Structures are given as C-alpha cells and as structure tokens.
Structure 1
C-alpha cells in the first residue's frame, strides 16, 4: 500500500523514480496513468483534477499519458502482429495513421518483416520496441516508463532511451523513468526521487 506519496513530472523533463522491487513503483505508475484509482488523495494533470479512471476518464486526459510496462508480453494481445499492436491506439481513437505507424516502427528499430510477426515470433527487445512505438502514436504529453529496460540487453536499452529522449526533445513531453537501476537513472533523468525502503 502506498501512503503520503507526492511526485511532480514537469513537461520537458525526465524525473527518475528509484527503489527496490516490490516497494510500489508500478502501483504508482498505474495510478498516474489513470488505470488505477487511489483510495485517497488525487492526481492532477496539467492543472485538471482527475475524477474518473480507466475508460471512464475523459479521452482528452487518457490520451495525454502513456504507460510503457516492464513486461511487454503481458501488455499486448498475442494474436496481433506488431503492426497491429502499434496501430491500436490511433485506431481506437478513430484516427488510423498507417504512415505514422511505419515511421515510429522505423524509429524504434523495427524492420518491415518484423511488423508482420506476432509476439511469440519476436524477442523481448523487439516486442518492447513495438510497445514503445505504440505508446508514442497518440503523442502523449507524459510518458511513464515502468522498468521498460529491465529485460533488455545494453544496446537495446540505450536505443530505447535515445528514442524517448528524441521524442521528448521534439514534443516537450514529461517523462517519469521508473527503475531499480540507479546507474541508469543517473544517466537518464534530470532529477531523481528515491523511494523509501
């Protein structure tokens, strides 16, 4: 259970949140991404108090925050191809954008042949690349990266962080980088918060 938690993610900056496994970082990520309603306290998004959660939250608020999960295989429909996974948010918003999907796929390092494959046919790193592309399709103002690099090799980790930084420089998005890897947070974040043990 989380208590007395206060965190602010300014636009254009990366805030690092460190702490050991099991201390509630992922729960906080779900609250901040409007997927989990807090028992008390509140969440404010660009000065607007959030009063409804999940699909009941207004679309204009829901689409301003994107969450990238630690384990990509639990975050996708295994029946879909990588192209369909990336296409999900704009299709659900009634704004299909095939050219954007192709552009983001290339940016995260996915080749055309990989886009026709399903999750069981690609590596964790390739699937996480698709999940990052999916998270960026609606151009969120805030991106929450919940241990997004934990299961990845060093080169893939560096590439995904570089993609997030490039997106942030282009859009001014605020980023919450959650990790138990303090070395990564020291390199990535503009400021860091250490979670109590």
Structure 2
C-alpha cells in the first residue's frame, strides 16, 4: 500500500474536525475527498502528509509525498524561474530532470520556463507545479483543491497530468469542492461530512 489510515481523527488543537476515517489508497488508485468548507479536507491532507499530528488513529506511508496545493504562489519560490522550480526535486535527488518533457506533459509552454512566478498566470504556475510532480514522480500525491483557481481548460490539463501519475503507479488523494469532478475521476470517494471507511 502507498498510504493508509486507521480510525484517524484530525483537527486543530485537539478539537476534531473530521473522522474517524479508515482508508487505504493503493498504488494506481485515486481517492477523492469531498465536503463543505471547514469539513477538514485540508487538515486531513496535511495529516496524511505528516505535517499535522492526528488527534487519534494512525497513518502509514510507504514512500515520499508530493503535494499539489490550491495556491501555487504560496509554495513556489518567487526568486526561481519555472525551470528551476520544476527541476529542484531532481537536483535534490542527485539526478537530471527532463524539464522540457515534464513541462510539455503539464501543458506548459517551453517559452515560459525562464520566467519567474510573478511573470506568469496562476494557471501557468500551477502547471509548473504539476511538472515538478512529474519530475519528482512520488509514490504518494496529495492534491488540495488543485483546480480551484483555474479555468476549465487549465483544470483539465492539471487533472489529466495527475491521472497520468496515478496510471504510472502513484496513490493519489484528491480534495475538491467540485463533487462531479471527484466522483468522475476517483476510484473511491470519501465525504467528510460523515465518518467514512473505504478501501
């Protein structure tokens, strides 16, 4: 398994917002998270990533975690070109990234690679973040409202690229307010408005 949790309760300062949840997301599968604002989607993702401590329950991860955030400007270094943003995971891993191929797969024009985040749109920057995931190729991918700020065309490109990573063997958890999108793309859907169990 790539990521799983058992009887997981998440929240803030010991105040529960979601759970208990038991789920296993296997390699090549997509788990969708839906629910109203405040239902705990982001908190659950942060807990699965190891950034938040659970109130109770356990989380198991079998590999590195890649995150696709709702607001790419919050996670992209404004002093780096898109090319450097995309290639950074490979540099850390001691390998050479095929940035051009990753950018093309993510729908990002090659001419934009030498621009800085402040010189591109939110959609273009989000595509650069997707290309970074493609370079990183992590076994676990957590997506927090990745298309909330994008137009339909950009949204389609981002979701298709994430699906490509899933087909290649990544376990994907996709949180979104777009219930139709989640239900259409996910193998399993968890509604955080209720306690859920799924495999």
TM range (shorter): 0.7 to 0.9
Q: Which has the higher helix share?
A: 1
Q: CA deviation at 1:6?
A: 2.7
Higher strand share: 2
Identify which of 130, 133, 152 aligns with 1:132. Answer: 130
Cα distance in 2, alignment partners of residues 89 and 34 from structure 1: 19
SS class of match (2:66):
strand
**Is 1:192 the counterpart of 2:189 in the alignment?**
yes
Deviation at 1:39, TM superposition (A): 4.2
Task: List alignment gaps of at least 5 residues for structure 2.
Answer: 1-10, 195-199
Q: How many residues align structurally? A: 178
The answer to which of 68-77 and 138-147 deviates more is 138-147
Kindly report structure 1 stretches of 4+ aligned residues shifted beyond 4 Å.
none
Which sections of structure 1, spanning at least 5 residues, go unmatched?
A: 47-60
Task: Using structure 1 for the length normalisation, give the TM-score.
Answer: 0.84
Structure 2: distance between partners of 1:112 and 1:181: 30
Are 2:14 and 1:16 aligned? no
TM-score w.r.t. the length of structure 2 is 0.83
Aligned equivalents of 2:78, 2:22: Cα separation in 1: 36
> Could you say what the CA RMSD is over the residues aligned between the two structures, in angstroms?
1.6
**Residues in 1 aligned to 2:83 and 2:158: alpha-carbon distance in whole angstroms:** 18
Match of 1:181 among 161, 173, 178: 178
Distance 2:183 2:170 in 1: 19
Q: CA deviation at 1:70?
A: 0.5
